[in-house]
Amino acid sequence: MARTLLLVEDELLFGQRLRSAARRLGVQVQAVTPTQARNRTWTRDEVVVLQATLRPEKQLELIDHLKGRKPAPVVIAVSGHLETELRQRLKARGAILATHSGMDRVLARALGISDARGDAARHQPPS
């Protein structure tokens, strides 16, 4: 299923990184501000990505708001590997977790571009 990818844009470098990942996956990105994300009418076919490490309390509150919508979008929260406590809080709120280095794989799955079996098969050494 093709889904729409939206970026809660509040930091330039993260936005550039997400757009690069989207280009590699062949999908378009629509940027929204945090305010637009709050006020938007979402569908289950939309995937919204935000950088969780930038102002984490505000991002956690935004995730709560988004996941409380009916219908709620798919929410991907990107953080660093070592941010264990933050990652636990994000997961408890229903966000799909991604690290900066693993963002492509998580985006592909959320967008319905690939699945775990396909990813595993591509990373197997040839027989």
User: Is 56 among the domain residues?
Assistant: yes
Contact 15, 51 (CB under 8 A): no
> 98-119, pLDDT tens digit by residue?
998 899 999 999 999 864 434 4
One-character DSSP codes across the chain: ---EEEEE---HHHHHHHHHHHHHHT--EEEE-HHHHHHPPP-TTEEEEEETTSSHHHHHHHHHHHHTSSSPPEEEEEE-TT-HHHHHHHHHTTPEEEESTTHHHHHHHHTTS--HHHHHHHTSPP-
pLDDT of 2 reads 58
CATH number at 41 reads 3.40.50.2300
User: Is 52 among the domain residues?
Assistant: yes
> 61-98, pLDDT tens digit by residue?
999 999 999 999 999 999 987 888 999 999 999 999 99
* Least confident range of 10-14, 15-19, 58-62: 10-14
Number of domains in the chain: 1
User: Is 16 among the domain residues?
Assistant: yes
User: Is 21 among the domain residues?
Assistant: yes
User: Is 70 among the domain residues?
Assistant: yes
Q: Write out the residue range of the structural domain in which residue 100 sits.
A: 4-116
Mean pLDDT, the chain, rounded, equals 87
pLDDT tier for residue 120 given thresholds of 50, 70 and 90 = very low
The pTM assigned to this predicted structure is 0.85
pLDDT of 43 strictly over 80: yes
pLDDT of 80 reads 84
pLDDT of 83 reads 85
User: Is 126 among the domain residues?
Assistant: no
pLDDT of 4 reads 87
User: Is 20 among the domain residues?
Assistant: yes
User: Is 123 among the domain residues?
Assistant: no
Closest by CA position to 42, among listed 7, 9, 73 = 73
